Amino acid sequence: MSNEAQKHNNLFDFVETVSGDKTLRVEENLGEGFVRLRVAEAERRQAKHDIRCSEDVIVEMLRNSRDAGAQHIYVATARDRDMRSIVILDDGQGIPEYMQEKVFDARVTSKLESMHMDRWGVHGRGMALYSIKENSDEARVMSSGLGKGTSIRIVTDTTRLSERADQSTWPQIGTDDEGAQSVVRGPHNIVRTCCEFALEERPQVSVYLGSPAEIVATIRSRVRSEIDETELLFIDSLEFLPVLHRLYAAADAIDLQEVSRSLGLDISERTAHRILAHQIKPQRSVIAQLTHSTDDLGAHEVDLLKDRRGLKLSQDDLDDFSRLLERDFELIAKRYYVSLAGQPKIRVSKNRISVSFEIDKDD
């Protein structure tokens, strides 16, 4: 063996001894400084390359939710100094409990028979969540279950995983030669990533973006119409409910704070009170904001002659009515020394509007 080759081998043995990785990183020493990596080490290096910025994390998580059959995806994100937190919540098929740690392993996928090719490339190799874990400080399933949707929290250090400096500017939309809408300008930030994904996947998927508090308010507003409140009376634990429904079922501000944090959404008790008091406005979908239109959180004109099944009220009208009832309840509160324990409950049926008030008596 040449002196140069011997030097390479000595250096190779030294590096392995220092790192303590000899049996894990290298399959074979080929001499002259060349080695054959083990599969796990090659995958780790590929994963590091797959994710290069916060925006890459967002698009991979959005694709995962889409492939899980989600129709509504909520992106809650915030930055505290150098730390970026990202929570993705969806109403997809969910992850069984025994798989909630394994989904972050390499080559783990639910797409045995198919892969998804989209504008971002091939999806379904079982590498997306593994790549995210390898590039983040925290990556875990906060809550999920079969048929219950999913909440996943990611925390990254922006000094190691970069992101665009401008995270507040919204992109501008235009049309291509065939008349299709697309993003034409704006920084390639998290907002633009969500908008481009939503444009690509509409109308099958709606994407909502905001701070943790805004996303809690948005989910509560949107899922309200999906819940039969009488069923909540027979629920022993919120864990039995779909992930998104738990935020609406929270009984008070403390409960809402606890439920939010269990899903990875860190809000204060004061913020929870503001959400319950409708002081934090629900967000429209990113498409609605991008195109300056309304979506399912906006008011809808109701044609009573066309729909003869009974009265229907838009969500905005229900919210306004609830605020009026809460204000007028002050008359009873002052005269009889009682206070509201929560928002007025409004139920609209075929020919009836029912209102109930849950009260606390003052000591």
Q: How confident is the model at residue 13 (pLDDT cuts 50, 70, 90)?
A: very low
Residue 182: phi and psi, rounded to 5, are: -155, 160
- In the structure, what pLDDT confidence band is assigned to residue 347 with cuts at 50, 70 and 90? confident
Give residue 71's pLDDT: 96
pTM for the complete prediction?
0.72
Alpha-carbon torsion, ordered 287, 292, 297, 300, to 10 deg: -120
Nearest Cα neighbor of 1 from 37, 30, 27 is 30
Question: Which pLDDT score, from 0 to 100, does residue 52 have?
Answer: 92
Q: How far is CA 118 from CA 63, 66, 115, 348, in A?
A: 9, 12, 10, 42
More confident residue, 199 or 114: 199
What digits encode the pLDDT tens for the residues 283-338?
999 999 998 877 655 444 444 344 445 567 777 777 778 878 887 888 888 888 88
Of 353, 354, 326, 352, the residue nearest 340 (C-alpha): 326
From 137-141, 147-151, 212-216, 231-235, the region with the lowest mean pLDDT: 231-235
CB–CB of 30/52 below 8 Å? no
Predicted confidence (pLDDT) at residue 141 exceeds the cutoff of 70: yes
Q: Are 171 and 107 within 8 A, CB to CB?
A: no
Residue 19: predicted pLDDT? 44
Write the CB contacts of 320 (distance below 8 Å, at least 6 apart in sequence). Answer: none
Q: How high is the pLDDT of residue 298?
A: 42
Structure tokens at 133: 């874990």
- Percentage, residues of the chain above pLDDT 90: 50
Q: What is the largest CA-CA distance in the chain?
A: 99
Q: Rounded to 10 degrees, what is the CA torsion of 142, 129, 166, 161?
A: 110
pLDDT of 185 higher than 70: yes
pLDDT in tens, 41-77: 766 666 566 899 999 999 999 999 999 999 999 999 9
pLDDT in tens, 74-92: 999 999 999 999 999 999 9
- Looking at residue 5, what is its pLDDT? 47
Q: What is the mean pLDDT of residues 113-134?
A: 74
User: At 6, is the secondary structure helix, strand, or coil?
Assistant: helix
In this model, does residue 163 exceed pLDDT 60? yes
The whole-chain average pLDDT of the chain stands at 83
233 or 68, which is more confident? 68
In the chain the domains, ranked by start, together with CATH numbers, are 3-37 (no CATH), 48-212+285-291 (3.30.565.10), 315-361 (no CATH)
Of 133, 134, 151, 154, nearest in space to 142 by CA = 151
